[in-house]
Amino acid sequence: MTDSGNSFILEFSKESLDAAFTELKSVQEAFGNFSIEFFIDGIAKIKGDVEPAKRLSFIRYASRIIQEAVDIEELKGLSLPPGKFNVRINRGNSNSTISESLIGETIGGMGRISFSAPDFRLRAIYSRKWYLCLLEYQSNRSEMEARKAPLRPFFSPVSMHPKYARFMVNSLSLKPGATILDPFCGTGGILIEAAKLGYRVIGNDISLKMFKGARLNLKFMGIADYGLHNKDFLDLVPEKKVNGIVTDLPYGRSSSLGAYSIEELYSKTIDKFASMLEAGEKCCVAVSSQDIVKMAEKHFEVSSIIPVRQHRSLTRYYITMVRQESSSL
């Protein structure tokens, strides 16, 4: 049995575990104030500062480890904070039949259990062994759902879910205060998530309709500090140094491609990205094909490719790439 001090268990939603782990690693790289001890089936153990983990798009709970135990009998006699509490279980990928009431009884909960007005909440999480944890953070999923495209004043049916927009922003491994560009910003969903995370944002769209709609949505979301342009991206000169680029690249017949074919646009766009970013800086793109990887290899090294199936005939790829030291532009 081990007292873990400043160690935490993070629990993630499971719609894309590869995305959840990639995002966690990216945030750890950006902040550098916690280490990742494991990530197994949507459960991670970290040591250090838990605060950066609260910005993750797929996180559900973050809980401070009180005690670790191979068997729940080892939890008997545990010293808990004063007051009433309740216990919830996450059995992970185990076949355990241990109940919440049994754990509550084992840790001395007689007369102290309250689900209506607890003074604190515990989580019993199994991942190779038991972790009894004090819940410190629970994500507000309704808050993110409230930022979905149909609930904004201006929207497009193909707009990205805020969860994936936030994941892409976090994949850049940047601390708040950095400047992020979305060169094909559409209705502004990525800009909104980036601004909510504390970044300076610059958006661009060649469509005047989208430009005006993005401006309306940013205002609706209370975001005042932004740059927004209505240009062919290849002609764009940002007003600030860009530290990272994140975008849902145009695809399909409904996209505004200007005078270019998809292949030509993507190739020229990658060259433009490379001219804006310094070595070590990242771009993250959402695309419907991995062909862009070959186009990008003279400037970028791929750090992750996350496929997410949209429906039977469409898989979207979230590709994060790192600008390399030297290339010919």
pLDDT digits (tens, 9 = 90+) for 263-307: 999 999 999 999 999 999 999 999 999 999 999 999 999 999 999
Q: Where are the domains of the chain?
A: 7-139, 142-323
179 in Cβ contact with 241 (< 8 Å): yes
Could you give the CA distance from residue 201 to residue 109 in angstroms, rounded to a whole number? 49
The residue whose two tokens read 């060259």 is 271
- Give the pairing of strands 7-12 and 200-204: unpaired
Q: Three-state secondary structure along 7-38?
A: EEEEEECCCCHHHHHHHHHHHHHHHCCEEEEE
Query: What kind and span of H or E run contains 292?
Result: helix 291-296
Q: Count the residues in the chain.
A: 329
Which residues, given as ranges, of the chain have pLDDT below 50? 1-3, 253-255
Is 0.75 topped by the overall pTM?
A: yes
Q: Give alpha helix (H) positions in 62-161.
A: 100-106, 141-145
Amino acid residing at 212? K
The maximal CA–CA distance of the chain, rounded, in angstroms, is: 72
User: In this structure, which topology does domain 7-139 adopt according to CATH?
Assistant: VC0802-like (3.30.2130)
Kindly report the CATH number that applies to the domain delimited by 142-323: 3.40.50.150
Of 325, 324, 15, 9, nearest to 161 (Cα)? 15
For the chain, how many helices (H) and strands (E)?
8, 14
What tokens appear for 241 in the block?
A: 């140094």
Could you give the CA distance from residue 25 to residue 36 in angstroms, rounded to a whole number? 8
Q: So what's the pLDDT on residue 312?
A: 78
CA 96 to chain centre: 30
Q: So what's the pLDDT on residue 89?
A: 96
Q: So what's the pLDDT on residue 256?
A: 54
Q: So what's the pLDDT on residue 251?
A: 75
